[in-house]
Amino acid sequence: MVRRARVLLFGGALDDQTVHDLGRRTGAAVTAARAVGQVRFDAGAREAWGRLYPSLSEGRPGLLGAITARAEAQTVRLALLYAALDGRPEISFAHLRAAVAIWNTPRRRRNTSGAMRSAVSSPIRS
């Protein structure tokens, strides 16, 4: 377990220069993304996606299933967002791994046994 150096109930306060720099960088990424045509997976991401897709697209019963429906579509959208913010015209393995980590975060908190986490995250680690 990682120990936090401090707890910031409402987050840290960013100074004006940091906010300006983040806004400028985000704006530049959006401008660059508008110039990109079709976005594809690179070879590493394509291979990982082939192993990951079946477990993400598997339906879940009940309310959890309704909330997490279309997990594969949401995960690839997150990966696309990471690629765009990174200024890349293709989704890399790193972008996909980050998207899976974000998608899996709520599941880790709900599932202490780790069964669901293992089923979804193991294909990306392979």
| 23-45 pLDDT per residue, tens | 999 999 999 888 888 899 999 99
101 domain-assigned: yes
19 domain-assigned: no
- Cα torsion through 89, 83, 91, 124, rounded to 10: 170
22 domain-assigned: no
Average pLDDT, the chain: 82
**What's the confidence (pLDDT) of residue 22?**
93
pTM as predicted: 0.68
54 domain-assigned: yes
99 domain-assigned: yes
**What's the confidence (pLDDT) of residue 48?**
95
116: confidence class by pLDDT, cuts 50, 70, 90:
very low
Give the count of domains, the chain. 1
23 domain-assigned: no
- Residue 107's domain comprises 41-125
**pLDDT exceeds 90 at position 70:** no
More confident residue, 63 or 2: 63
Helix pair angle (71-85, 16-34), 10° resolution:
110
Which of these, 69, 104, 97, lies nearest to 83 by C-alpha position? 97
7 domain-assigned: no
18 domain-assigned: no
Q: Please give the helix or strand (H or E) that residue 40 lies within, else none.
A: strand 40-41
Residue 45 corresponds to which tokens in the numbers above?
Answer: 């991401």
Cβ neighbours for 14, distance < 8 A, ≥ 6 positions apart: 22
